[in-house]
Chains A and B, each alone.
Chain A
Amino acid sequence: MFGTYLRRELANRRRQTIIIAVGMALAIALVIVVNAVAAGVQNAQATALKSIYGVGTDITITEPVTAASAGGQQFQFGSGAGRTSGGTRTIGGSRLRTDFGTQTFAATTVAKAAATPGVKAATGVLSLSNTTFSGQLPGGATGGFGRSGATPRPTGGPDGAGGSAFGITRVSVLGYDVGGATIGPLTAATLTKGRSLTAADAGKDVAVLDSDYATSAKKSVGSTVSIGGKTFSVVGIVKSTSATGSSASNLYIPLDTAQNLAGDKGDVSSVYVEAASADQIGTVKTALQQTLGSTMTVNTQADLASTVSGSLSTTASLASSLGLWLSVLVLAAAFLIAVLFTVSGVNRRTREFGTLKAIGWSNRRIVGQVAGESFVQGLIGGAIGVVIGIVAIVIVNMAHPVLTASAAAAGRPAGTAAGGFGGGSGFGGGGLGRAFNQVASSASSIVLSLPITPAVFGIAVGLAVLGGLIAGAFGGWRASRLRPAEALRSVA
């Protein structure tokens, strides 16, 4: 009887069933999508960190930049430098320095970190930035550009307006331990051409290039690149393992070569640490901080995740704040709709329930019938919601939304446009034509992929059923309060 009656009611009161089920379905679909976005963003953040810090890195050690060491770049040219033709002097230069925003420290830190209990491996890297400058100056200008600001103003130039034309190209260079480091940025990249650097390359002028950089700079295996005035031969090309996006640096060279080049003999700019087990990361962090002292910054992946910025973090906060509230709101609305429609449905069936009571149906049986109808409506809503949710997730995944992420923490290996021009005041007047060619890129772009998590679907359907039961409780309560004598009220 229960099943037959329930089926007939749902089939015959289709409008009510559809409204309740659709309301519930939309709410459930929203919950599923918001959850999927949140999970997808979390995955994306992990991917972003991996492409920047490498796979297996649990902790990074850096030293905060102190004001004194954060000086700008300077190009020094003697008065006779460059070639002069027709009143215009063409000058150029290449300078390698530690990356802006990066503080170097003694490589002994690597050994100290490695000796700390709970540390499985530690490796040091040196992030450098190679800035190539080339441009034309009016003939009368003399060298000595820098922060002094006392440089004579250039007058007249090749652009006819009395200015100068400069091109500045910045390339990020990462020196890493070629002696078989198991962690570090390159673990998140795969070799696509040529070979990797090996222990035999230590101290040599060889480089591996990021494939994106190689493409834009038109370099390949066998080409040469100039770093800090030295010529390096390209032996391999690597590509980031994330679906889109570049690897951590434009160029990779042996650590000792980098140290020699930069004049930072024996210094590194970051240490990557792998903990012996994932659940020890917290303890290892504390131990490292104690060993190294408070002047060093020790960050876990979780600490670093909060430093990821860009559209990725915007999406993350959207998913967690707006998405959450929207879900709660829509869910509450769906519950309310279900309750109101169920109660009004019971009111319309006053005579029906009165009659059933008059012929001997107990309150429990009638409440059960009403609750059963709502429960099934909720279940239908949940099922439709799951379908809509899956469809929405599939559509989003097919659209391949690309998010950008940049790590804003000190000690990031790749630079940004900031700090490109040291001092700058030397170029004050004269209508300088700035031609930045910003090849280096610190932002890694990541394709947002929404996961389909069975547990989320379970919870979503549970919510729909809960909504149905709440509506059923209200409706049933209403029905239970009907007097059987209502059945005798003539004419509905």
Chain B
Amino acid sequence: MYELERVSKTYRQGGRPVAALVDVDLTIADGEFVAVQGQTGGGKSTLLQLLGALDKPTSGTIRLGEADLGRMGASELTRVRATQIGFVFQSFNLIPTLSAQENVETALAPTHVDKRERRDRAQEALESVGLGDRVAHLPSELSGGQQQRVAIARALVKQPQVLLADEPTGALDEDTRGEIVGLLESVWKDRGLTLVVVTHDSWVAHRAERRIHLKQGRVTEKAAAKV
């Protein structure tokens, strides 16, 4: 699925360069479940942004399937994000003024599916995360776990090939954490998509097929540990 070759990302902070990723070589296979761990500031979020076509590397190549993300223009990257990649965030990032149903529909807005199909698919996605009875609720009327389920439904409704999650359980309590990880695991298995989860939490990381460690922008891979 992903092929990274000597990928570096350097930010400029007040004129000083900050190396967030340094010469990262990494291959992620189709349908793989990868956990990315590491100390804070290690470059985990930066890596996920590059995988998610939100940003381009300073040097090196990132291939998603056949496409070289580093060489794409802004509108092509937008297209990739709209069709191939689902994103789940630590703080859910739902639109506060839209209902659960409408939040899920925002992911279909760029794909030009008609209104009825959009509604049906959003409804379906919410049912698949166990929120079929909460479609009309605003984010503020849902618990943290429920909000993250809505966010997962939003990521899945476009039927992406990749699901990327940055600390998806970081804002949740332990019981809910289990629920959300269980949900991610089951969609990964059912849909056969590629799942990359950034986490501080080794309990979460241990559910993955493979764990990657990032330290000061460099990858140190731990032995694969299948659960």
Q: Rank and list the top 10 A-B pairs by shortest CB-CB distance, nearest first.
A: A360-B82, A8-B97, A355-B93, A12-B97, A360-B81, A484-B54, A1-B109, A360-B110, A485-B54, A485-B49
Task: Tell me if A352 counts as interface (CB < 8 A to partner B).
Answer: yes
- Give A365 to B87 CA distance when docked, in angstroms: 19
A interface secondary structure, majority: helix
Task: Tell me if B91 counts as interface (CB < 8 A to partner A).
Answer: yes
Residues of B within 8 A of A356 (CB): 95, 106
Residues of B within 8 A of A9 (CB): 97
Closest to B110 in A: A360
Known A485-B54, A487-B89: A361·B98 in contact at CB below 8 Å: no
Residues of B within 8 A of A491 (CB): 91
Closest to A10 in B: B97
Known A361-B110, A362-B75, A485-B49: A5·B54 in contact at CB below 8 Å: no
| Interface residues in chain A, defined as those with a beta carbon under 8 Å from any beta carbon in chain B | 1, 4-5, 8-9, 11-13, 351-352, 355-363, 365, 483-485, 487-488, 490-492
10 contacts between A and B (CB under 8 A): A5-B97, A5-B102, A9-B97, A12-B97, A352-B95, A358-B54, A359-B107, A361-B106, A365-B109, A484-B81
Known A488-B45, A488-B49: A359·B167 in contact at CB below 8 Å: no
Residues of A within 8 A of B89 (CB): 355, 487-488
Number of A-B contacts (CB under 8 A): 92
- Give A175 to B194 CA distance when docked, in angstroms: 105
Residues of B within 8 A of A360 (CB): 78-79, 81-83, 85, 107, 110-111, 158
Closest to B79 in A: A360
Known A5-B102, A488-B45, A488-B89: A359·B154 in contact at CB below 8 Å: yes
- Give A483 to B54 CA distance when docked, in angstroms: 8
Q: Which of A352, A357, A361, A483 contacts B109 (CB 8 A)?
A: A361
Is A363 touching B74 in the complex (CB atoms < 8 A)? yes
Task: Tell me if B96 counts as interface (CB < 8 A to partner A).
Answer: yes
| Interface residues in chain B, defined as those with a beta carbon under 8 Å from any beta carbon in chain A | 45, 48-49, 52, 54-55, 74-75, 78-79, 81-83, 85-87, 89-91, 93, 95-98, 102, 105-107, 109-111, 118, 154-155, 158, 166-167, 170
Known A352-B95, A487-B93, A488-B89: A358·B81 in contact at CB below 8 Å: yes
Residues of B within 8 A of A487 (CB): 54, 87, 89, 93
Is B81 touching A359 in the complex (CB atoms < 8 A)? yes
- Give A12 to B74 CA distance when docked, in angstroms: 31
Is B98 touching A4 in the complex (CB atoms < 8 A)? yes
Task: Report B4 CB to chain A, min CB distance, Å.
Answer: 17
Closest to A4 in B: B102
Residues of A within 8 A of B91 (CB): 490-492
Residues of B within 8 A of A351 (CB): 93
Given contacts A352-B96, A360-B111, 15 further A-B contacts (CB under 8 A): A1-B106, A1-B109, A5-B95, A9-B97, A12-B96, A352-B93, A356-B106, A357-B54, A357-B81, A358-B52, A360-B107, A360-B158, A362-B78, A487-B87, A490-B170
Residues of B within 8 A of A362 (CB): 75, 78, 82, 110
Task: Report A133 CB to chain B, min CB distance, Å.
Answer: 85
Task: Report A10 CB to chain B, min CB distance, Å.
Answer: 9
- Give A365 to B89 CA distance when docked, in angstroms: 22
- Give A49 to B93 CA distance when docked, in angstroms: 70
Q: Which of B48, B78, B118, B170 contacts A357 (CB 8 A)?
A: B78
Known A8-B98, A360-B158, A490-B90: A1·B105 in contact at CB below 8 Å: yes
Is B55 touching A483 in the complex (CB atoms < 8 A)? yes
Interface centre among B45, B87, B98, B109 (most CB of A within 10 A): B109
- Give A492 to B87 CA distance when docked, in angstroms: 18
Task: Report A274 CB to chain B, min CB distance, Å.
Answer: 67
Residues of A within 8 A of B85 (CB): 360
- Give A5 to B90 CA distance when docked, in angstroms: 23
Closest to A9 in B: B97
Interface centre among B54, B85, B107, B111 (most CB of A within 10 A): B54
- Give A235 to B85 CA distance when docked, in angstroms: 99
Closest to A12 in B: B97
Closest to A11 in B: B97
Task: Report B103 CB to chain A, min CB distance, Å.
Answer: 10
- Give A68 to B55 CA distance when docked, in angstroms: 94
- Give A455 to B48 CA distance when docked, in angstroms: 57
Residues of A within 8 A of B93 (CB): 351-352, 355, 487
Closest to A5 in B: B98
- Give A487 to B49 CA distance when docked, in angstroms: 10
Closest to B166 in A: A488
Interface centre among A1, A352, A360, A491 (most CB of B within 10 A): A360
- Give A219 to B158 CA distance when docked, in angstroms: 94
Task: Report B16 CB to chain A, min CB distance, Å.
Answer: 19
